[in-house]
Amino acid sequence: MSSDLESPNRIFFAEVGPRDGLQNLPTDLSTEIKVELIAGLLDCGPELVEATSFVSPKWVPKLADAEQVMNRLVADRGEGVLDRLRVLVPNRRGLERALAARARRVIANIGATEAFNRRNLNCSQEETLAEIGLLSEQAKAAGCLLDVSISVAFGCPFEGRVDPQRVLELALEVSDLEVAEISVADTIGVADPRQVVELVELLTARLSLGLLSIHLHDTRAMGLANALAAYRAGIRRFEGSVGGIGGCPFAPRATGNVCSEDLLHLLTRVGAASPVHLGPLCRVAERLEQLLGQQLPGRLYRAGIWNPDQLN
């Protein structure tokens, strides 16, 4: 971990494993274990941990205990923990539940294609943009920050190739709603470094670089290459999932969030400054492997952090 957190190479990291990672796993974890996982991740130092989702339990039953998770975290760590937690909300009902649980930062989603948006949110892109506008007003009135993720920004399982201009149009419309951050997501893991650079350059020609985050999947073993390309193109906000767990339950074969510890190891090796402690993060991945009873996709937690000065 670099200590130079004021440098232009400073990155901001959101750990999404407790939400995006767990929602697609076959294993059910108890509320207590989820709280333990989130607490362990918070102790590693990321700016944000995406703790849960206030989606209907009918659609994502593994996160049906969202209120209990939030209440336990506040009880264990105090109100201040809320500044480092983010939760997913699909609509105003979800936001109302999140605000009742005292959430201070939420994230909503819109698909970059009409087909994916309808499959994921059961409404049109136009309807979702209108809903996000209402979410923005309601969140602002409650003193809550709103982020927005643009899913399938590089490729859609139902429509194929996604026009970068359409992603830009959506990002501009979303930015007009005074959101705190716009996350561009490679939801099904089809991007390549060239596409990443081209989209980042297109977006940053019209939007502030500080507004943009990137969410990558390693479905086709391109996640780290794409992260490096994004970093070199100027992106400083990244998302990842501990151990590389998870995926999207509404996109066929969309396994493999980019692994948090592998991603951060790569970026710090090329000069990025991060507040996240990699050793403890690897230990969280080791613990998660034990809890799930299976080897995780991540590599660093298994191989260890290379230190040539301490060879046996």
Mind listing the pLDDT tens digit for each residue in 157-200?
A: 999 999 999 999 999 999 999 999 999 999 999 999 999 999 99
CATH classification at residue 220: 3.20.20.70
Q: How many domains does the chain have?
A: 1
Query: Is residue 3 predicted with pLDDT exceeding 50?
Result: no
Q: What predicted TM-score, i.e. pTM, was given to this entire model?
A: 0.94
The residue-averaged pLDDT of 202-215 equals 97
180 within a domain of the structure (yes/no): yes
6 within a domain of the structure (yes/no): no
Cα distance between residue 123 and residue 136, in whole Å: 18
What is the predicted pLDDT for the residue at 197? 98
Query: Is residue 44 predicted with pLDDT exceeding 80?
Result: yes
Query: Is residue 309 predicted with pLDDT exceeding 90?
Result: no
113 within a domain of the structure (yes/no): yes
139 within a domain of the structure (yes/no): yes
Q: Which domain holds residue 140?
A: 12-299
120 within a domain of the structure (yes/no): yes
Q: CA distances (Å), 71 to each of 74, 108, 243, in order?
A: 5, 21, 26
2 within a domain of the structure (yes/no): no
Confidence at 311, pLDDT banded by 50, 70, 90: low
Q: Directed axis angle between helix 125-141 and helix 164-175, to 10°? A: 30
* Catalytic residue set: 248
311 within a domain of the structure (yes/no): no
Assigned token pair, 282: 């690897």
Confidence at 251, pLDDT banded by 50, 70, 90: low
Continuous segment of H or E residues that includes residue 185: strand 181-185
Query: Is residue 9 predicted with pLDDT exceeding 90?
Result: yes
3 within a domain of the structure (yes/no): no
